[in-house]
């Protein structure tokens, strides 16, 4: 596992810093910081589960009432090629009605003009 990456790490590219800031936004529950990283027409897709388009829809999903508190996210690796950053990580989160989500995920962030325009998420729930 690679050491945790921070948005303030000067060795990261601007796109990787944006992804690190996105992860930090979820860790701290900073909805506005997350939204500031997205294009107005952002799309977020979890193939086979859901897809949404636009910042307003994304903002609603950030406030997902199925979970309580903020998730514990661990970045295992980030890889960048052209305008895409791939992130592999783990997640732990508490369900509002009890129980815990424990899983591994891979997110692909597509950029346009320095902002995230699309996220494709794949996850395996290890409950």
Tell me the average pLDDT across 95-106.
94
DSSP 31: H
d(CA 58, CA 24): 16
**Structural domains counted in the chain:** 1
Task: Tell whether 7 is covered by a domain.
Answer: no
pLDDT in the model for residue 2: 47
Q: Which residue has the higher pLDDT, 11 or 78?
A: 78
Judge whether 2 lies within some domain. no
Which domain does 54 fall in, by range? 14-125
In a domain, 74, yes or no: yes
Residue 1 has pLDDT above 50, yes or no: no
* Tokens found for residue 117: 């325009």
Domain assignment of residue 18, yes or no = yes
Question: What span, in angstroms and rounded, lies between the C-alpha atoms of 65 and 34?
Answer: 17
Q: Is residue 5 part of a domain?
A: no
CATH at 116: 3.10.450.50
Q: What is the pTM of this model?
A: 0.89
Query: 92 with 99: CB under 8 angstroms?
Result: no
The mean pLDDT value of the chain amounts to 91
* Dist CA 50 CA 69 (whole Å): 22
Percentage of residues in the chain having pLDDT higher than 90: 78
Over range 43-49, report the average pLDDT: 94
């Amino acid at each position: 596992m690679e050491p945790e990456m921070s948005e303030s790490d000067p060795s990261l590219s601007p796109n990787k810093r944006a992804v690190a800031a996105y992860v930090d936004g979820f860790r701290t529950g900073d909805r506005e910081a997350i939204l500031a990283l997205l294009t107005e027409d952002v799309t977020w897709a979890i193939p086979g589960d859901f897809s949404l388009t636009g910042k307003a829809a994304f903002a609603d999903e950030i406030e997902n009432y199925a979970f309580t508190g903020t998730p514990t996210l661990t970045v295992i690796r980030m890889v960048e090629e052209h305008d895409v950053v791939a992130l592999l990580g783990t997640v732990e989160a508490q369900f509002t009605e009890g129980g815990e989500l424990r899983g591994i995920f891979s997110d692909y962030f597509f950029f346009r003009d320095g902002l995230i325009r699309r996220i494709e998420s794949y996850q395996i729930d290890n409950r």
